[in-house]
Amino acid sequence: MIRPADAWVLVLALASLVAYGAWRARATRDLHGFLVAGRSMPWPMVALSVMATQASAVTFMATPGQGYVGGLSFLQFYFGLPVAMVVLCATLVPLYQRLRVHTAYEYLERRFDGKTRTLAAALFLVQRGLAAGITLYAPSLVLSVILGWDIGLTCVLLGALVVGTIVLGGSKAVAHAHALQFTIIMGAMTLAFVLVLRELPLGMGLADALTVAGGSGKMVALDASFDPASRYNLWAGLLGGFFLQLSYFGTDQSQVGRILTAGSTRESRLGLLWNGLFKVPMQWFILLLGVLVFVAYRFEPAPVFFNPAESAKAAAGPHAAAWSAAERDWNAARAELARALIDGRQAERAGDVAGGLAASVAARSAEARAQDARGRALAALTATDPGANTNDTNYIFLRYVLEHLPVGVVGLVLAAIFAAAMNSTMAELNALASTTVVDVVRRLPWRVDEPGLLAWSRGATLFWTVFAVAFAQLAGRMGSLVEAVNILGSLFYGAILGIFLTGFLVPRAGGTHVFAAALVGEAAVLACWRWTPLSFLWWNLIGCVLTVAVAALLAQARPAPRS
């Protein structure tokens, strides 16, 4: 249960954010402001907004959990990002700014035809609508864990809060709120990092913690081996990640919408390049926080399963005896592990090689027994409820924060999570509403005037919120949320990026060529997902290359008439 002081910090921080959003919202009274903030944002605002849109509550909660479970290897996912920023600045950004478009898909009608624009917009709407469900689910998870609320109801409440702010504020409010939110989130993260480091026993410093983490394989940030089935390695990150980030920042309206709020090409470019410069170090820092939590838990009792709701169900269910036995063995093995690690550290300091070796053997044995006990606990969990989610990655960091950080800081960290959730969901819903209005409603046979379009924008925001809330009910079964968002995006990004790249690379390709090619690319990606063990980052490359190649072949066979 949250302590009163933390509740006050949380309420005050959220109230400030909502008040700030409402204050900014007062100026947004037309559709141009609602869609692209009147193209008035300077580059620092664009940079913060772009980074905040990508760094949602999922980033804040699930990435440290990812660091705890998989170490730094997830960092490789971002290696293609700086290259993608440079390519975007040189190609799509000046094009978008020159054409003065409101959505990325407007460009496709000018280059190809209406049906290609509709296809890309439809792929975006489906993919981003589903992803918005996950970004809404993440903070709801926080509330349900802390307050014991029903998670479905919590999703609905948070959705209502977000939709209220965005309907009032539009794109401008989103951009300004992002700047404030990003400051809060990075401040809270830095504070958490320092406090976790100070919690480490035996006067351990950062270097000692990294040595302990390295001993458990958590410090592998770069794996140069080439394995297509491996989710994170250098090549998947550089090549697959490049295509994913290129598609996300260049063709996903939730990011293109942020880039278009800039007053000029210069401001858009500087915002993106700033992101390219600092994204990898920032993600390293967030993952390292998770690694530090892992090290801290090596020396003190850790729960056998981090999701308290599922644990409570198993402890009270028909397999309670098996659960209790597993939990008891886990606690004993973990206590032994902590003792062995402390002995090892002391032996190392005393230069006692034999003592160090003995401690290392004892630690390995305790670790094996702990893993065995956790396996039995998970078996009891699924025996109690076959539908139970056995992935507790998303709960790890939150649990640590609640149980270890001092009063006040817990409230601040929770406020950061809520702020991140609200603002990333806002950006997504704003993009979904923009695409619905600009790429669908404005092209309807009957003309809708500006007040009508503004009303449609607000209505579309409401519709997509309901859609996201409905999908959020399923998000809990998707494992690590930060991975789920990217896997979902990778199902569609390749074909969408392929459509845009065909526009640049295949001058002879027409609308029908690229439309057919995109369907082939998308079918191939879906086949990879369904029937191959290929890691999701490669889907982006396959979908993109196949779309461009098939469009080029079709254009070669039957060139489009010149318009």
Partner 1 sequence: MIDRAERDATTPPEPEAPPPLGSWARLYALVLAALALDLVLLAWLTERYR
| List of residues contacting partner 1 (CB under 8 A) | 30-32, 35, 39, 72, 75, 79, 82-83, 85-86, 89-90, 99-100, 102, 210-211, 213-214, 219-224, 234, 264-266, 269-270, 273, 276-277, 280-281, 284, 450, 453
> Please, what is the minimum distance in Å from the beta carbon of residue 457 to partner 1?
10
Q: Which is nearer to partner 1, 26 or 266 (CB)?
A: 266
Q: Which is nearer to partner 1, 172 or 513 (CB)?
A: 172
> Please, what is the minimum distance in Å from the beta carbon of residue 85 to partner 1?
6
> Please, what is the minimum distance in Å from the beta carbon of residue 248 to partner 1?
17
Distance CA 452, CA 457 (A): 9
> Please, what is the minimum distance in Å from the beta carbon of residue 365 to partner 1?
22
Q: Which is nearer to partner 1, 152 or 452 (CB)?
A: 452
CB 152 within 8 A of CB 468: no
Q: Which of 126, 113, 244 lies closest to 515 in space, CA to CA?
A: 113
CB neighbour class for 365 (10 Å; exposed up to 12, middle 13-18, buried from 19) = middle
Stretch (H or E) spanning 378:
helix 353-384
Distance CA 479, CA 439 (A): 33
Q: Which is nearer to partner 1, 3 or 266 (CB)?
A: 266
> Please, what is the minimum distance in Å from the beta carbon of residue 299 to partner 1?
18
Chain-centroid distance of CA 20 in Å reads 25
List the structure tokens of 164. Answer: 């209220």
> Please, what is the minimum distance in Å from the beta carbon of residue 273 to partner 1?
5
Q: Which is nearer to partner 1, 17 or 37 (CB)?
A: 37
CB 450 within 8 A of CB 31: yes
Distance CA 346, CA 149 (A): 45
Q: Which is nearer to partner 1, 276 or 511 (CB)?
A: 276
> Please, what is the minimum distance in Å from the beta carbon of residue 103 to partner 1?
12
3-state secondary structure of 388: coil
Beta bridge partners of 262: 41
Beta bridge partners of 41: 262
Q: Which is nearer to partner 1, 75 or 472 (CB)?
A: 75
What is the DSSP annotation of 396-408? HHHHHHHHHSPTT
